């Protein structure tokens, strides 16, 4: 098991795998044979309302799983019954550290669960579900005591810069998150919501609808997850402000910033003008249509990276010391007042306010600050100490590090998450929110994010956990995409290609992704790759491809076991195809890099005229990129809406054209 958990392995079920690993498991003599029928008795805390639906829903799944194959049924009751075989009840003397902890005791007479909260009971039933998915109907007697480090354990998914997942995909993800004891879920929304009053917002994408949001919200409630709305409210408005109808609401035009000598982030206006009544009215209309679809009492107003605030139309209002910062704080308070009309307290990203910590006291008292950073050495500890000293509620927000990559950046992601968890726990963060962004088209497939997503769930539960080899082995068993359970180890290794092909690391992206997207004639990133390392890495990735292909061809052997052991087949059956595709794409990129080095001279001596060997390689790569483009489209559409697929496929088509030009 992972470091940070105390496991007594003596006489435990040899196939016992629990995720996140519980802190304490003690083996006892004897065993309990799961009967073909029985009773699940649930006694909820009298003063802990709101969690009953999730407990009964999870118990229903447990009852169905315990009765599987027997032809009989398990019954669920909320009343005391002395004949109960499995009892879930609250004990006043349940002495467990931390809120929402639980104790499970398996003995010869059945299973008893103790907890002081409905959330704790729900966590316990999720553990029982994992126990029930083991093939054995004989459970060793044991006591499990477990509790989380963070009350709020979240996952944040960007659906605005590329892939917009289908409703079924998001619901399957919700069930996976619940099993991993994640209790907060957010979707990053820019213009991919179907605002009826502003239909031109989403004309270039395939948006999520109000019905989608309500359906996901309902499923989250069943699964004990708080589905928190998240919507841009200041910066990141470029997809809306570039439209002629809304452009006049912008703070400043990019051309004006260039005249001022200010480096711009994009070629479209970025931030709303906070002093414009029409901009205020627009945001109020967005809130009015968006927020009623969520039952959560929280709302993430974002308000991050508003770097051009005060540089345009609000320049006069921002004059003077801390003028821009005061504009920002006043806008956040305006957003909080609008959110309060819908019964919601706000969250916001903390990057802007950290530049003016003296103004922290002027933010809404119930606002939660989301302290984010994605480098392995991000100063979570220093920022957390400041927020704790100011007595501000806050989350630590690391990331999966898969955006702007082909296979992820595994080492950076795991170090980033581990650092956030330790610092957050030390300084009293109320939550850990693991983020998965989609910068520049969200090219990475979802399975690439599974390793850091899973580690984020484990670290949010137990901040002492270290991302060692046993974590990858455990993940491979929990999501059995192949018989050996080694897919997670292979995926993690593919996510470290970026480190092995160069002596230089890039900020917030991987070199293999940059090499894939870099036009043939440019050599800025090509010069960073080491020819000898690239050649060695090709051989390494090809070995992974052979292994993944063998597992993929034999996948039908595991279908029955997969469906029995896990409740999220929609996501699980995609793992091998997506990881295999990723390996092939990385291999193609490395071979393309090798050929470019030879023909451009970036790797040493330049070959002025391509020789037959280089032309043969170009033909092979042309055929390969055409196949990869077709496969990518199929994998994208398997679980996502059309959205901006064409944007990513344009890179595949450009590469194919480059090969044709060469030939």
Asked if pLDDT for residue 92 goes beyond 90, the answer is: no
Q: Say whether pTM exceeds 0.85.
A: yes
Q: What value does the mean pLDDT take over residues 631-642?
A: 96
CA distances from 188 to 3, 301, 506, 556 (A): 33, 10, 25, 36
Q: Give CA–CA dist 658/663, Å, rounded.
A: 9
Q: What's the mean pLDDT in 597-623?
A: 83
Q: Provide mean pLDDT across the span 450-462.
A: 98
Cβ distance 495 to 413 under 8 Å? yes
**Under a CB-based contact definition with an 8 Å cutoff, are residues 558 and 480 in contact?**
yes
- Do residues 655 and 625 touch, judged by C-beta distance below 8 A? yes
Tell me if residue 440 falls in helix, strand or coil: helix
State pLDDT tens for residues 485-522: 899 999 999 999 999 999 888 989 999 999 999 999 99
State the Cα–Cα distance between residues 246 and 273, nearest whole angstrom: 11
* Segment 390-402 mean pLDDT: 97
Please list the residues that pair with 112 across neighbouring strands: 87, 105
- Can you tell me whether residue 35 is helix, strand or coil? coil
Res. 87: pLDDT tops 70: no
pLDDT at 21 over 80: yes
Q: Comparing C-alpha atoms, which of 113, 97, 104, 98 is closest to residue 45?
A: 113
Q: Which of 129-133, 494-498, 564-568 has the highest mean pLDDT?
A: 494-498
What is the C-alpha separation between 482 and 564, in angstroms, rounded?
Answer: 14
Considering only CA atoms, which of 365, 477, 441 is closest in space to residue 652? 441
List pLDDT tens digits, range 317-345. 998 778 999 999 999 999 999 999 999 99
How far apart CA 402 and CA 438 sit, in angstroms, is 8
d(CA 395, CA 370): 5
CA dist list (Å): 309 to 243, 270, 346, 439:
20, 9, 21, 22
- Domains of the chain as residue ranges with CATH: 6-146 (3.30.379.10), 152-234+271-308+316-465 (3.20.20.80), 491-662 (no CATH)
DSSP-derived 3-state class of residue 404: coil
CA atoms within 13 A on the CB side of 37: 4
Neighbours of 569 (CB within 10 A): 12
User: CA–CA distance from 51 to each of 54, 101, 189, 194, 291 (Å)?
Assistant: 6, 14, 27, 30, 22
Higher pLDDT, 409 or 569: 409
Measured in residues, the chain has a length of 663
Q: Does position 363 have pLDDT exceeding 60, yes or no?
A: yes
| Residues ≥6 apart with Cβ < 8 Å to 200 | 243, 245
Q: 209: which 2 tokens?
A: 């609808």
Whether residue 304 has pLDDT greater than 70: yes
The residue among 569 and 497 whose pLDDT is bigger is 497
For residue 225, the 8-state DSSP code is -
Cα distance from N-terminal residue to C-terminal residue, the chain: 54
User: 461 versus 11: which is more confidently predicted?
Assistant: 461
């Amino acid at each position: 098991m992972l470091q940070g958990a105390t496991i007594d392995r003596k006489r435990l079920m040899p196939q016992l795998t629990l995720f996140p690993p519980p802190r304490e498991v003690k083996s006892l003599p004897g065993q309990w044979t799961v009967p073909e029928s029985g009773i699940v008795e649930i006694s909820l805390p009298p003063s802990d309302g709101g969690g009953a639906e999730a407990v009964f829903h999870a118990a229903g799944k447990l009852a169905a799983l315990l009765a599987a194959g027997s032809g009989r049924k398990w019954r669920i009751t909320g009343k005391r019954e002395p004949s109960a075989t499995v009892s879930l009840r609250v004990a006043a003397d349940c002495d467990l550290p931390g809120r929402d902890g639980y104790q499970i005791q398996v003995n010869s007479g059945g299973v008893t669960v103790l907890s002081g909260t409905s959330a704790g009971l729900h966590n316990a039933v999720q553990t029982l579900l994992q126990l029930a998915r083991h093939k054995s109907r004989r459970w060793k007697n044991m006591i499990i005591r477990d509790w989380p480090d963070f009350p709020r354990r979240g996952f944040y998914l960007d659906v605005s810069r590329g892939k917009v997942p289908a409703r079924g995909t998001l619901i399957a993800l919700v069930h996976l998150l619940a099993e991993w004891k994640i209790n907060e879920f957010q979707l990053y929304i820019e213009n991919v919501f179907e605002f009826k009053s502003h239909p031109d917002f989403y004309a270039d994408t395939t948006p999520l609808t109000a019905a989608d949001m309500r359906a996901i919200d309902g499923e989250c409630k069943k699964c004990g997850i708080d589905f928190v709305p998240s919507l841009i409210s200041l910066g990141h408005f470029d997809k809306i402000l570039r439209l002629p109808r809304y452009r006049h609401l912008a703070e400043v035009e990019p051309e004006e910033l260039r005249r001022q000598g200010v480096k711009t982030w994009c070629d479209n206006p970025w931030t709303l003008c906070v002093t414009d009544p029409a901009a205020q009215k627009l945001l109020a209309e967005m809130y009015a249509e968006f927020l009623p679809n969520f039952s959560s009492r929280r709302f993430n107003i974002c308000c991050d990276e508003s770097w051009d605030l005060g540089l345009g139309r609000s320049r006069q209002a921002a004059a003077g010391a801390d003028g821009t910062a005061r504009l920002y704080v006043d806008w956040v308070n305006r957003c909080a007042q609008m959110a309060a009309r819908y019964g919601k307290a706000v969250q916001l990203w903390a990057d802007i306010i950290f530049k003016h910590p003296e103004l922290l006291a002027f933010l809404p008292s119930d606002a939660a600050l989301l302290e984010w950073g994605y480098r392995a050495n991000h100063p979570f500890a220093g920022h957390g100490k400041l927020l704790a000293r100011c007595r501000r509620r806050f989350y630590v927000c690391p990331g999966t590090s898969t955006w702007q990559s082909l296979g992820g950046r595994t080492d950076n992601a795991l170090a980033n998450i581990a650092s956030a968890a330790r610092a957050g726990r030390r300084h009293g963060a109320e939550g850990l929110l693991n983020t998965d962004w989609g910068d520049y088209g969200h090219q990475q497939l979802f399975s690439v994010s599974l390793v850091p997503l899973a580690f984020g769930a484990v670290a949010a539960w137990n901040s002492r956990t270290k991302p060692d080899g046993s974590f990858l082995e455990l993940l491979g068993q929990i999501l059995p995409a192949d018989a050996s359970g080694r897919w997670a180890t292979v995926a993690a290794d593919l996510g470290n290609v970026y480190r092995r092909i160069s002596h230089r690391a890039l900020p917030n992206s991987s070199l293999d992704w940059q090499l894939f997207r870099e036009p043939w004639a440019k050599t800025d990133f090509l010069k960073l790759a080491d020819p000898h390392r690239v050649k060695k890495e090709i051989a390494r990735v090809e070995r992974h491809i052979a292994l993944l292909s063998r597992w993929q061809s034999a996948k039908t052997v595991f279908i029955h076991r997969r469906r029995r052991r896990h409740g999220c087949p929609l996501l699980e059956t995609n793992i091998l195809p997506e990881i295999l595709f990723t390996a092939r794409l990385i291999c193609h990129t490395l071979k393309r890099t090798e050929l470019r080095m030879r023909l451009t001279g970036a790797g040493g001596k330049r070959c002025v005229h391509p020789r037959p060997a280089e032309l043969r390689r170009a033909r092979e790569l042309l055929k390969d990129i055409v196949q990869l483009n077709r496969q990518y489209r199929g994998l994208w559409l398997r679980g996502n809406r059309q959205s901006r697929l064409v944007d990513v496929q344009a890179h595949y088509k450009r590469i194919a054209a480059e090969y044709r030009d060469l030939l």
